[in-house]
Amino acid sequence: MITIKSASQIEKMRKSGAVTKGALELVEKSIRPGISTKQLDKIAHDYIISKGAKPNVLNYNGFPGSICASVNDEVVHGIPSKHCILKEGDIISVDMGAVLDGWHSDAARTFAVGKISDEARQLIEVTKQCFFEGIKYAKHGAKLGDISYAIQKYAEGHGYGVVRDLVGHGIGTSLHEDPSVPNFGKANHGVKLAAGMVLAIEPMINEGTWRVEMLDDGWTIVTQDGKLSAHYENTVAITKTGCEILTL
């Protein structure tokens, strides 16, 4: 069931979103060659707790971290580890969220570790732009498929693969709510958007094939061909005139 949030509820989500935004910014400043993903996890965890919130991925279905830290060909759900040391030229996707006063927020970014290749940088930039192409259609009266189609068209127009197995989602008092928000689809299809809906829109874009597989840890999703993947996500509230990004 899709829930419509009131203005006061969206204000609570705005405050939650500010915590997630701040945590991501702190993680970005901390990323450097030689740091472990476990150290980044602690930085984000401590910041979120300091703001009176809780990391919403910690223990979610048993996930053991406060962030998902996915390096290079890891698409999503990478488990933070003291043994995973970032090195020059890596890219890392950090997906995290906060729950504050019972309301969730969710966001992800892919960051460069030191100097990266031109190809990696372009993948990060195109993935980010996929999000902004999609939210051009995030408005009252549009169809959900309009967002999905715009993301897919932009990514595939640059020769990239759009992950099919994982999608965005509604968000509110639960981290994952209806509707599902695919990054692929047909324009003018799907659920009709209405003011008060809040969506986590999150392009996951691969350098090569869209196909993915899970590692033996039961969490980490990687590209099937071993090529790079990037991720960009924000929590977005639909309004009468467009949308508001609550985590940016």
User: What per-residue confidence (pLDDT) applies to 30?
Assistant: 98
- Does 1 fall in a domain? no
CATH assignment of the domain containing 57: 3.90.230.10
Peptide bond into 64 cis (omega under 30): no
User: What per-residue confidence (pLDDT) applies to 25?
Assistant: 98
From the list 61, 63, 65, the residue with the least C-alpha distance to 44 is 65
- Does 2 fall in a domain? no
> Which residue range(s) make up the domain with 236?
7-245
- Quote the mean pLDDT of the chain: 98
Number of domains in the chain: 1
Mean pLDDT by 10-residue block, N- to C-terminus, for the chain (248 residues)? 97 98 98 98 98 98 98 98 98 98 98 98 98 97 97 98 98 98 97 97 98 97 98 97 96
pTM for this predicted structure: 0.96
User: What per-residue confidence (pLDDT) applies to 119?
Assistant: 98
Angle at CA 127, nearest 5°, toward 236 and 115?
125
User: What per-residue confidence (pLDDT) applies to 19?
Assistant: 98
Give the span between the Cα atoms of 119 and 46, in whole angstroms: 34
Give the span between the Cα atoms of 34 and 114, in whole angstroms: 10
User: What per-residue confidence (pLDDT) applies to 11?
Assistant: 98
